[in-house]
Amino acid sequence: MTRGCNFSAGPAALPEEVLRQAQSELLEWGSARASVMEISHRSRAFMDLAEESEQDLRDLMSIPDNYRVLFLQGGATQHFAQIPMNLARPDQSADYIVTGAWGEKAVREGSPYVQARIAASSIDSHYTRIPARSAWDLDPDACYLHYTPNETIHGVEFQDVPEVGNVPLIADMSSDILSRPIDVSRFGLIYAGAQKNIGASGLVILIIRDDLLERCPDSMARIFSYAEHAAGRSLFNTPNTYGWYLASLVFKWLKAQGGVVAMGERNKSKAELLYSTIDQSDFYSNPVEASARSWMNVPFFLGRPELDAAFLAEADAAGLIGLKGHRVLGGMRASIYNAISLDQVRTLVDFMRDFASRHG
């Protein structure tokens, strides 16, 4: 068996250099004489790693000083509920922009803790576009506005940051964080599950503006309070130490690649190559409007769905794994996160052209 080109949507591919370093340090990390998984999270060695990894992320994203960076447990789904628990009262309303399955889930999980208003939705197009800004019904008194910049399942991505006035903007960036430069100061809170562009599942990165921490109610259990975790520098309880360690290696790798500017250029090239291959073919199709196509997750469909199983079997034999589409949509999906190289995308499109020539 050889290592395949992994186009899985998440947990997703990690940079091979990171995996090799983690492999070499698995038994003995630095001078600890033990694995990083075996030492106290309050040891000087781990606290040094925590501080350095936070600074690396701040450098990569140019995070302003008035934002806290938290390394938390759970996934985005947990924080769909935890965000309104921290930032809203049950009698307050929050606006949600829904452009896919994860936006829907954010509304559903947040509703017990806030009056969740769907201020705009593209469900009428089966989530193949971004709702026209003129159709957004925004509440200027909303306690926040939540949106999903990139929808992993439907392959829809905002190409800019929406302007929402003084209402704090909250973004679930699980599948596009660190994929290109963003202006963090435009947001009140950014959160992301780690298992796509950061590292291993079970870790969540959360970036929150200082003034929003003041909203966290004292009546809430401390373990759910972002203010408590910020005060404890994410060490209030035992964190996901190995996930944090892997994230620290990915941040170093990203810096070595040239940071998010270089990754943005690479990701744009990867997406353009894959979409042009689909668009130039009579055999493949992608339903998303061109202006809303994701750089990270590319769903596509064969002109003859009865060939789906053969496509996946032949792709697997060719070393291309993780291409099966989500059960909501079917078809195929290629997730081309930061760890996927342009050469790997070239390998994929070469296979797609060959398969089409033999079966089209």
> Would you say 118 and 111 are in contact if contact means Cβ atoms under 8 Å apart?
no
Check whether residue 319 and residue 353 sit in a common domain.
Answer: yes
- Examine the fold and report which residue of 232, 256, 280 is the final residue of a domain before the chain moves on: 256
Reported pTM: 0.97
How many folded domains does the chain comprise?
A: 2
Domain CATH number, residue 262: 3.90.1150.10
Check whether residue 173 and residue 65 sit in a common domain.
Answer: yes
Tell whether 10 is covered by a domain.
no
Check whether residue 130 and residue 182 sit in a common domain.
Answer: yes
- Examine the fold and report which residue of 218, 241, 256 is the final residue of a domain before the chain moves on: 256
For helices 101-110 and 76-87, what crossing angle results, to 10°?
A: 40
Checking 181-190 for CB contacts under 8 A at 24+ apart, the result is: 181/62, 181/260, 181/261, 181/264, 182/61, 184/61, 184/62, 184/63, 184/64, 184/67, 185/64, 186/161, 187/161, 188/144, 188/212, 189/83, 189/87, 189/144
Tell whether 1 is covered by a domain.
no
Tell whether 309 is covered by a domain.
yes
Tell me the one-letter amino acid at 137: D
Q: What is the pLDDT along the chain (360 residues), one digit of tens a residue?
A: 689 999 999 999 999 999 999 999 999 999 999 999 999 999 999 999 999 999 999 999 999 999 999 999 989 999 999 999 999 988 899 999 999 999 999 999 999 999 999 999 999 999 999 999 999 999 999 999 999 999 999 999 999 999 999 999 999 999 999 999 999 999 999 999 999 999 999 999 999 999 999 999 999 999 999 999 999 999 999 999 999 999 999 999 999 999 999 999 999 999 999 999 999 999 999 999 999 999 999 999 999 999 999 999 999 999 999 999 999 999 999 999 999 999 999 999 999 999 999 998
Tell whether 146 is covered by a domain.
yes
Q: Is the peptide bond before 168 cis (omega within 30 degrees of 0)?
A: no
The residue range of the domain holding 286 is 258-359
Facing residues of 97 across strands? 120
Residue positions annotated with a catalytic role: 102, 172, 196
- Examine the fold and report which residue of 213, 241, 256 is the final residue of a domain before the chain moves on: 256
Check whether residue 289 and residue 249 sit in a common domain.
Answer: no
Tell whether 168 is covered by a domain.
yes
Strand ranges (DSSP E) for 139-188? 145-147, 150-151, 156-157, 169-172
